[in-house]
Every structure is written in C-alpha cells, then in structure tokens.
Amino acid sequence: MPLNPHQQRLRDGKHVIAVNIGGRNPDVMLALANAGAHVAFIDCERTGIGLDVATELIRAARLSGLAAIVRSWSKDPAVLVQYFDRQVDGVVVPHINTAQDASDVVELVRYACGAKAQDKTVIVQIETVEAVKNLQSIIAVPGVDAYLIGPNDLAYSMIGQRGARTPEVLDTVDRLCVQLREAGKRFGMPADWSQLQAFKKSGATFLYFPIEWLLTKAVQDLSATLDSPLID
C-alpha cells in the first residue's frame, strides 16, 4: 500500500500529532482523524493491548485515515514481524541503545515487508544513558525515519526516578534535541499543553500526546464554561 500522507508529513519535517489512544478504543479513531490528528499511536508497551487487539486497532485507524503506528513492547524481531504481518504502517521500537539495535530493526522491516519496506515508518526510542552516549552512531544508521525521546524513562536511567525533571535531565534532553536537529533528523517527544512552545522551539516535529491529556483539558474547559457567570 502506498505511503500514508501522514507518514509523508513526518518525512517532510512537518508537525505530526500522534495520539496514544490508551487501550481498546477503535471508536475514537474517526473522531481523532476528523479533529486533525495524524497518527493513532497504538501502545503495546505501556498498556494491556495484545496482538489481537492491536490488529483490530490497526484496521480501525487505517479505515479512518490515520496512520497506524504500534509501539512494540520489545525490539525482538519475532515480536516486530507480527505487527508488519498485520499491515501496520510503522513501529516505535523501545530499548534502542546501540547502532546495532537500530540496524537490526531496519533489517527486520526489510525482511518482513520486502519492496514495501520503503512505505513503512521506523521510529526508535532514545530513552537510556547508553542510547544518549551512542546517539551519533545510532543516527548514522540508514532507514530510520525518526527518533522518539523518552524523557521519563531517560530520567529513570539517569537518576533512578522516572519522570523527574531535574536540571540534569532537562539539559540532557535539550542536548539530544540539538544533536538531532543539527544532524537533520526528524524527532519528537511528549509535550503537554504547557510545553508546546518549547517543543516547537526545540525543532521537534513528532508530538506524542496521550488521549487522557486531550480529555482532561476538554472536560476542564467544559466545566469552567458551565461554572462561569451567565453572560447576558
């Protein structure tokens, strides 16, 4: 199948909104697409989504016009190939610490997809001290479309506290952004409403955004509107 236009957006360096749909929520796909989202981020690492449910979500996303991208729970080729067998548009692969790790993912895509490999999106996560140390060799591997910085897990790797936003962690994330931007690479990370300007300033384009952040703000805005004085 030809490259999804939203996958092309990523390669072209345009902003891409990737909404982590949370769980088994196929009915949200069309609403997200109509609202302007680009990617259904199907999370098999941090949720209870298994292969059968992932298959259902991949189909629902593609029917709705979203790019279906699965975050695998493993970088094991035997795991990744199953998503490609189910026609996923791309994968986000965790635990990429070395150039060999990245090369193995690219080779797996070639093996699983053959001539169609060029139409698949490959995103690798940068989320450990080891990955930071090896970044230059990782980004030298051809065939990777983008890099997803994981500040929460990176904080755990650095100081043993997941999600910590210490000066050391923030400085490391900033340095990663500079290195990726100067190398001309596409990259992204999570950014909530208060972090969007910093996200844009960093040069990131792939925005990871959990669906609960959308819901929280929508309900808060709705409640505030209903609680405000009536305007005559």
What pLDDT was estimated at residue 53?
97
Residue 232, pLDDT > 90, answer no
What pLDDT was estimated at residue 1?
56
- Which three-class secondary structure state does DSSP give residue 208? strand
Length of the chain: 232
| pLDDT digits 0-9 by tens, 144-173 | 999 999 999 999 999 999 999 999 999 999
Residue 156 CA from chain centroid, whole number: 19
Average pLDDT score over the chain = 96
- Which three-class secondary structure state does DSSP give residue 96? coil
Mind listing the domains of the chain with CATH numbers? 5-214 (3.20.20.60)
What pLDDT was estimated at residue 10?
97
- Which three-class secondary structure state does DSSP give residue 27? helix
230: confidence class by pLDDT, cuts 50, 70, 90? confident
Spatial CB neighbours of 102, under 8 Å, sequence gap ≥ 6: 96, 124, 138, 141, 144
Spatial CB neighbours of 227, under 8 Å, sequence gap ≥ 6: none
Residue type, 83: Y
| pLDDT digits 0-9 by tens, 43-82 | 999 999 999 999 999 999 999 999 999 999 999 999 999 9
What pLDDT was estimated at residue 231?
81
Q: For residue 15, give the nearest of 106, 154, 146 by alpha carbon.
A: 146
94: confidence class by pLDDT, cuts 50, 70, 90? very high
This prediction has a pTM of 0.95
| pLDDT digits 0-9 by tens, 191-209 | 999 999 999 999 999 999 9
In order of 150, 155, 157, 164, the CA distances from 132 in angstroms are 11, 12, 10, 17
For residues 110 and 132, the answer to whether their CB atoms sit within 8 Å is no
